Each structure stands twice: as C-alpha cells, then as structure tokens.
Amino acid sequence: MRLFQTSQKTLPASIVVSILLVMLLSMALSCQKESNQTTRLKPYIIELPNSFPRLEIPDDNQPYMERIALGRKLYYDSTLSNDGRACASCHIQAQGFTKSSQNVMPVLHHANLAWKNLYMWDGSQSGSLEELMYFEVTEFFNTNLSKFNSHPEYPALFKEAYNSSTITGEDLAKALAQFVRTLISANSKYDQVMSGQATFTELEAKGHAIFTGERGSCYHCHIPPLFTDNRVHNIGLDSTYEIPANQGYFHSTGDSSHLGHMRTANLRNIGLRSSFMHDGRFNDLKQVLEHYSNGVKQSPSLDPVMIKSNGSAKLHFTTEEIEALEAFLKTLTDSTFISNPELSQA
C-alpha cells in the first residue's frame, strides 16, 4: 500500500504513519511543556477576598510559590536599577506600598493592583500586571540584564521557576507580577464591617452613608471594594491645562476632552498618606474633601459625573460631614497588609 504518491517517489505507508505519529506526539508534548515544567513547582492559590471581582491571570504565568518568592526577592533588590533603587524604595510596605511626602507626587499604590488595567496617574500604561512590570523593568529601571545573568543566585532561581536559560526582561516582569499580584489589601475595618466582624462608629457610619450615597457620590469613581473604577476622570482640580503635568490622559490620546483626566486613585490605606492628587497638592484628607466641597473648577473637560443632580459640582459639605467622611476613609487602613511578614523583605 502506498500513500502520498508523487510524480517522483512514493513513501511506504508504515513510514508515513510513523512520521505522522511522531508529529502528533510532538504536538501533544509541546502543549504539555508549560505543565511539565511547572509540575515541579508548588501551586499557590490566591484567595479571592469577599466580593472582589474575578482575578485575571495570564495562562503562561500562573502562580507558584517559587515564582512568587522570586518576585518578592526582586521587589526588594536594587539590582533592578542602575541607581541603587529597588521597587520597595518607593513602594514602602508601612505606607501601604506607596510613598507620599508633602507636595510631592504620590507613588503608584501597589495594593490590589491585580484588579487594575490602567496605571500611572495619567493612565499612560495599560494592560496586565506583566505588561506593567515589563515597562518598569525595561523603561523605568532600564535594568541591566547582564547583572542578573551573571548573578550568583538568579540564574538558578529563574531556571527553577521559569525554565529560563537566559534571564530576559520578560522573565523579570513575570516574576515581579507574581509577587505584586499577592499584594492584596482586604482586611481593613471596612472589610470587617462588611463581613459582620466589626461595626462602624456613629461617625464612620455617617461617613459611609455619605460616601456610598448621592450626598457625596464618591462611590461613582471609588467603587467598593476596590475603591477605584479603573478609569480616568477630570475632578476639577484646574480650569486650564497649560502645565503638562496637569494634562493627564490627554498625553495618551491627544484628545482635548481628556485634558486633566487622571486615573482614579485607590483609596485603600488612604489614611496613611500625606500627599494627595497627581501632584501632591493636598497634604491631608481635609484638604481633599474641601476640594470636593467647594473647590471643583469648571472646564470643558470636567468629568460628567462631577456635576450632580442639583446642577452644581460643589458638594458644600458641612464640617460634620467632612469629619464623618474622614473617619470613614480611615477605616480603609489595613494594618495586617502593612505589617504582613510574607510581604516584607525576606
């Protein structure tokens, strides 16, 4: 019996079948490559906090203990940079994995970043955590990969975690994303109240009602439980936008309707911060709340949700309402998150 007869030659059926079998087996084996490599690794289940949305994790970077440990080591290692800085130099655990000092731009808050898809104040980075970390490695830090490939420990660690013979920027990004994905803040007093383990004080409860009701309408952008909406908004900090640092998302789109649009801040652990907004112009929560109360400025790119049903962008809070909101916002401080030794430098 002959198969695949050509004008020149014919191949015996047994050879053809053998070739096909080899091809099929190699196809089957190639799709098992990632799973064979990871069978030696210890799987890690990221527990989804109550009422958090689905966690989206790329198929090729599923969580394993070894990968998370490697990401954690990298996070605290200044080898990543060329100037002595590590991720943790600016993302300080005790401050909720951010850094804020008065009148200085607050650093991106590394808490619950796994549920975001838009990063940086001006929303200039988007995509998965792996893509964000790739930006950090290749552009922000401009990491010298040869330092990792000649390092006494990293080549073996990457070989174990990712089966990498040569450490690439993509490998570093994947490992960092593994650790950052575990930076979950979901055990604040607010969370405990929501799960029935604690109760708000009278003032906190009043603040919660203002925050989640139309009086404050804060929830429109700071949607619990993530306290962000993964969008950009112009909250009326300025009426004109000549200063490039204030132009926000306009930098990404070139669309004048995006002037002054900044990524919605995640409010978790906000009570630990000492500067607010994209340029750190406010130095305490009262100043932030005063802005929403009386300071919102009109402009053609003011976000539509800023004008409330009474036609005004100013909420005119009473002193007591500001105190209540401040008390509520401080219930978002998660003391276990900022002291969890599993998230600290090993």
Partner 1 sequence: MRQFLTFFLLCGLVFSCSKDETALSEPQGRISIDFRHFAGTDSLLIGKVYYPNAAGNEYRVSYLKYFISGLCLYKNGRKIWQTKTPPISINAKYQDCLQAAFEQVPVGSYDSLSFAFGIVPEYNYHGGFEISNDDYDMYWPINLGGGYHFMKFEGHWRDGDEFGTFAFHVGAKENLIIHGFKLPLDVQEAQSTNIIMTMNTHEWFENPYLFDLSKENGYTMGNQGQMNNLVLNGQHVFKAKLQDF
Contacts with partner 1 by CB under 8 A lie at 13-14, 17, 20-21, 24-25, 27-28, 31, 51, 53-54, 56, 115-117, 209, 212-214, 217, 219-221, 223, 226, 229-231, 253, 255, 257-258, 300-311
| Local structure of residue 113 (DSSP, 8 states) | G
| CB-facing half-sphere around the CA of 79: CA atoms within 13 A | 16
Give me the least distance between CB of 135 and partner 1, in Å please: 18
Give me the least distance between CB of 308 and partner 1, in Å please: 6
Record the tokens describing residue 82, joined without a space. 């060329």
Give me the least distance between CB of 21 and partner 1, in Å please: 6
* Closest of 89, 94, 119 to residue 273, by C-alpha: 94
Closer residue to partner 1 in complex, CB, 84/304: 304
Closer residue to partner 1 in complex, CB, 16/145: 16
Closer residue to partner 1 in complex, CB, 21/245: 21
User: Helix, strand, coil: what percent of the chain each, to 5?
Assistant: 45, 5, 50
Closer residue to partner 1 in complex, CB, 93/301: 301
Closer residue to partner 1 in complex, CB, 274/299: 299
State CA 137 to chain mean position distance: 15
Give me the least distance between CB of 102 and partner 1, in Å please: 31
Give me the least distance between CB of 183 and partner 1, in Å please: 16
Token pair 């909720």 in the structure block, residue: 96
Instruction: At 6, give phi and psi (nearest 5°).
Output: -115, 180
Give me the least distance between CB of 301 and partner 1, in Å please: 8
Q: Is 83 helix (H, G, I), strand (E, B) or coil?
A: coil
Buried/exposed 60-77: b ≥16 CB within 10 Å, e otherwise:
ebebbebbbbbbbbbbbb
Closer residue to partner 1 in complex, CB, 24/104: 24
Task: Spell out the alpha helix ranges (H) of the chain.
Answer: 13-30, 33-38, 65-75, 87-90, 129-135, 145-149, 154-162, 169-180, 189-194, 202-212, 250-253, 285-290, 319-330
Closer residue to partner 1 in complex, CB, 116/189: 116
Give me the least distance between CB of 70 and partner 1, in Å please: 25
Task: Spell out the alpha helix ranges (H) of 183-318.
Answer: 189-194, 202-212, 250-253, 285-290
